[in-house]
Amino acid sequence: MFRFELVSDFQPTGDQPEAIAQLVEGLKEGYKHQTLLGATGTGKTYVISRVIEEVQKPTLVLAHNKTLAAQLYAEFREFFPHNAVEYFVSYYDYYQPEAYIPRHDLYIEKDADINEEIDRLRLAATTALFSRRDVIIVASVSCIYAIGDPEEWGRVMLELKRGEQHRRQTLLRHLVSIYYERNDLDLKRGAFRVRGDTLEIVPAYGETAYRIGFWGDEIERITEVDPLTGEVLTELDQVRIFPAKHFITPEEKRDKALVDIEAELEERLAELKAQGKLLEAQRLEQRTRYDLEMIREINYCSGIENYSRHLQQRPPGSPPWTLMDYFPADYLLVVDESHMTIPQVRGMYHGDRSRKQTLVEYGFRLPSALDNRPLNFEEFEARLNQVIYTSATPGPYELEKSHQVVEQIIRPTGIVDPQIIVKPVQGQVDDLIGQINERVERGERVLVTTLTKRMAEDLADYLKELGIKVHYLHSEIQTLERVEILRDLRLGAYDVVVGI
């Protein structure tokens, strides 16, 4: 059985030993809510890592933005190199939600650009939860948004053992049913190929491939290989292949869903016509019947997530399945920067519902689309087991709920809070360059903040022309590229990062 094993050259110092002891004791006593009140730089992440090692519980770490989540992910990977540390954030590099603005009679179609690497990391996160207990998942608020039913997702998992009998055609059909694609030329993520008596599969969540050797219908050999070079990495006795997507809909559920969607459509059309909303009724019928035809023919349509309640056979108003449902009942939740994260979790549901209510009212979507949503705050609370909130300035919610507030004030490094100096606007860029040169000579790094993205880019370009190693950082930079920029700053590839 895998156990959490923290790897670090440091030992707890300052307030850390007492904070670790109090939090661990609180968890063992069954406290549901605790707060770690720690000033910036006191080593809260290290303390939480020690707590995780002590209690040995699968852990969800919730952060309020992708950049912070990426930073925590990198830190936890360093502390737990032998355990499963995963990353779960929104896989959209660009996302424009579907919306309608009645005032201007303007319909905005959904538009999105999916990041394949983040999609892989999301699948790797749920795969780890189904495979072991020593799992830490660092997530953004994306973890309260709908993904597939965990029971269905685990049920269709394919398990292969050496010496077992499997009809090859049945095996290939199973792989196709869990969204793997046959590609005999290019063996890529989420694909498989067949060559003679050998089946090769690249899991949608992995970076290596599995090679299954058959003798007739018997599995003779299972190896893990490099998909590029074909080099054998290790011999295996068994392997599990999890689905390539989170949303799994068996054929019988799909057929039942189509009937339910038809019934809801007829009911809604009667309502709209009774209210004299003939344009809305015609619009809804045209769009929904087109979607139904697409689902029948190719098992997919644009905006299929709006029919998720029917496809998953959930009752009206019921909460969706989320990442939190994939965790075992005894998991630990760590809410980082809770004074920012808790209000964000609270606000997600209302913003989503407001937008979709308009779409339903004007005949763009069926009322069941309202059930394709994030969790509301009461549903989020219902899924909590034990929680540790970490913040330098905890909000009223955390302080009110917590059984104990553990303070961590003294920094292990002994560094005190920085001195704040206010300077005149005149000559500020020249002064900044002087400050940068002074810090670079001492081998230090500089973080510059501006008011807008444009200003950040322009200032970075100007500093670059002066021979300063600089890069800008803002929300339009892709998620994984942000991590690389911060890593390069630590390694000295950049001396300055300009943000907003």
For every residue of 47-58, DSSP letters joined together read HHHHHHHHH---
Contact at 8 Å (CB) between 338 and 395? yes
CA-to-CA distance for 19 and 410, rounded, in angstroms?
11
Does pLDDT of 338 surpass 90? Answer: yes
Q: Which amino acid is at 295?
A: I
Q: For residue 418, what pLDDT band results from cuts at 50, 70 and 90?
A: confident
CB atoms within 10 A of CB 227: 20
| Positive or negative: CA dihedral 308, 313, 318, 324 | negative
Helix, strand, coil percentages (3-state) for the chain, rounded to 5, are: 45, 20, 35
Stronger pLDDT, 24 or 228, i.e. the higher one: 24
Per residue in 443-462, pLDDT (tens digit) is 999 999 999 999 999 999 99
Q: What percent of the chain has pLDDT over 90?
A: 82
The conformation of residue 71, written as its DSSP 8-state character, comes to H
Q: Helix axis angle, 278-298 relative to 251-274, nearest 10°?
A: 170
* CB distance 394 to 405 below 8 Å: yes
Average pLDDT over residues 392-410: 93
Question: pTM of the prediction?
Answer: 0.87
Rounded CA gap, 352 and 316, in Å?
Answer: 17
Radius of gyration of the chain (CA): 26
Confidence of residue 417 (pLDDT cuts 50, 70, 90): confident
Q: What is the pLDDT of residue 94?
A: 83
Residues 6+ apart with CB under 8 A from 415: 41
> Cα dist. 44→136, 143, 218, 469 in Å?
16, 22, 52, 30
Q: How far from the centroid of its chain's Cα atoms is residue 38's Cα?
A: 26
